[in-house]
Amino acid sequence: MLLGRSVDGRAIYAVELGDRRLPTSLLLVGCIHGNEPAGIPVARALEAHPPAAHVWVIDDLNPDGVAADTRQNAQGIDLNRNLPWRWRPLSHQSGQYSGPRALYAPEARLAERFILRARPHVTVWFHQPLAVVDQSGGDPAVERRFARLAGMRETRLTRYPGSAVGWQNHVLPATTAFVVELPPGRVSHALSERLLGALHAIAAG
Ligand SMILES: [Zn+2]
């Protein structure tokens, strides 16, 4: 499904998997920071081996950033600071420019619209390079289970204003959104297999 287009006109898709009559159990976003693309092949691997549950996958929410190898979108906006919950101005100098206002970036707007419609029970956002599962403010049992199954360490990273997980955990309080920081470079085959196992388990509920 075409969600919309990036600032430079690149298509952004969501792929629907499994039984669409069921509520959405899982949304996986493979990439939001363009210079952190290691989750994209993992997202595609999940599409190739879909769970039985109802799952959506956005391989790449920031195709302009991936093309340019920049964290930000083509407006220089850090998409993960442009969601509306606790949005505040952050400068270009911070490296996390949050835009002139919340939801200024088209990529942030289409993600917000899609998530409010899909209402995923669990959402996983891939980042890099810290190699940890972040305790992001949703259900800690879900994060803990994912970390154990993926063989990753769990920690609590800084909570930033305007972040996607902060916004989701606020506006959809019965659901859980969390950040999975993949290691630097490419994801190894072994880690990819563990991540897919963890995603399947979480999707199954
Ligand atoms: Zn990131």
The fraction of the chain above a pLDDT of 90, given in percent, is 99
Q: Count of CB atoms within 10 A of residue 88's CB?
A: 10
Element counts in the chain: helices (H) and strands (E): 6, 9
Say how many Å lie between the CA of residue 30 and the centre of ligand 1: 11
Those residues whose C-beta lies under 8 Å from the C-beta of residue 66, and which sit 6 or more positions away, are 31, 34, 37, 40, 60
Say how many Å lie between the CA of residue 78 and the centre of ligand 1: 9
Say how many Å lie between the CA of residue 186 and the centre of ligand 1: 15
Q: 14: helix, coil or strand?
A: coil
Say how many Å lie between the CA of residue 35 and the centre of ligand 1: 8
Q: Model confidence over 164-182: pLDDT tens digits?
A: 999 999 999 999 999 999 9
- Please provide the CATH number assigned to the domain covering 2-204: 3.40.630.10
Say how many Å lie between the CA of residue 52 and the centre of ligand 1: 29
Q: Model confidence over 12-69: pLDDT tens digits?
A: 999 999 989 999 999 999 999 999 999 999 999 999 999 999 999 999 999 999 999 9
The DSSP line for 18-62 is S-TTS---EEEE--SSTT-TTHHHHHHHHHHS--SS-EEEES-S-
Indicate whether this model's pTM tops 0.95: yes
Say how many Å lie between the CA of residue 197 and the centre of ligand 1: 23
Tell me if 61 sits within 8 A of 12, measured CB to CB: yes
Say how many Å lie between the CA of residue 157 and the centre of ligand 1: 12
Q: Where are the domains of the chain?
A: 2-204
